[in-house]
Amino acid sequence: MEYALISGTDMKVSRIAQGTWAIGGWMWGGTDESESIRTIHAALDKGINLIDTAPVYGFGVSEEIVGKAIEQRGQREKVFIATKVGLQWDDGSVSRNSSPDRIRKEVQDSLRRLRTDYIDIYQVHWPDLAVPIEETARTMQELFDQGLIRAIGVSNYSPQQMKRFMSASELHTVQPPYNLFERQIERDVLPYVCENNLSVFAYGPLCRGLLTGTMRPDSRFTGDDLRQSDPKFQLPVFEQYLNAVQKLDDLAQERYGKHVMDLAVRWVLDQPGITAALWGARYPAELDAVAGTLDWKLDADTLTTIDQIVRRAIRKPIGPEFMAPPTSTTIAA
């Protein structure tokens, strides 16, 4: 396993993190608690010490599973739990709420579900335009000063929003969507975090399974699977992305004896500013491929070829905007 320090802390985390959105079940077709716990244990066995979760993943289910898994394994001090705050749900409807009262309530709920008395990395899940960013930041700093959290993070924030946040609080981590097909953060977020020495946890490095190389034009998604609402998974655009995946897989095999999944995650890890990539395994066997992403580098010529393949195959790239929860109707200054 590769490890890296979170900026401004003494926390040395694995560069592959166990992501637990799918384990929560919501928008991923349900969950199996015992299987999910075995998956987290398998991740720990492979040297993964960073577990990323959120209250909204399964409306508390993901955090409860993470808490049980870590409690069963023991050695809490060797695991770094990253969770989030600022999304509330009512009858399955999710909205943003980063008010001080909401944050203070959520941290206690998360501590209870996670069966711990501190959270290693606490991240504001989405910017809430109805609450001044500085007010949210001051509340997060308050939790940090109280020792309830060990590092402060934000997710899905723009550089302008991070700048406002940092005017009122420390900031250690940033979590944006980032993969070979969703590269919007290269324009602004990545330059900003490099300039300000922030650590980046990239979510979606496999683009919701698209970059695993296992999907076909007739792949179908049922129930509440979020890929039903992702434009990239709708024909005929889906075929463009699959064509790119095939060409990337050919490239990986020809130059490195690897597969497209290895290439995609390695590509994320090799980008400047990236501390860790989230690996959303639901079953222990899905962690077997982690080894193929580690301890090698992409050369400059391959990076250029990757860009050419993606640019030629996908005529009009589609971003991850569809995942954003609704903003509040009242906009704060």
Distance separating alpha carbons of residues 258 and 303, to the nearest angstrom: 15
The pTM of this model reads 0.88
**Residues belonging to the active site:** 57
**Of 238, 256, 221, residue with least CA distance to 181:** 238
According to DSSP, the residues that pair with 215 across neighbouring strands are none
| Mean pLDDT, 10 residues at a time, the chain of 333 residues | 95 96 60 86 96 89 93 93 91 85 96 97 94 96 98 96 97 96 94 96 91 83 68 86 95 96 96 94 90 94 96 84 61 33
- Residue 190, CB half-sphere, CA atoms under 13 Å: how many? 18
Taking the CB of residue 72, how many other CB atoms lie within 10 A of it? 11
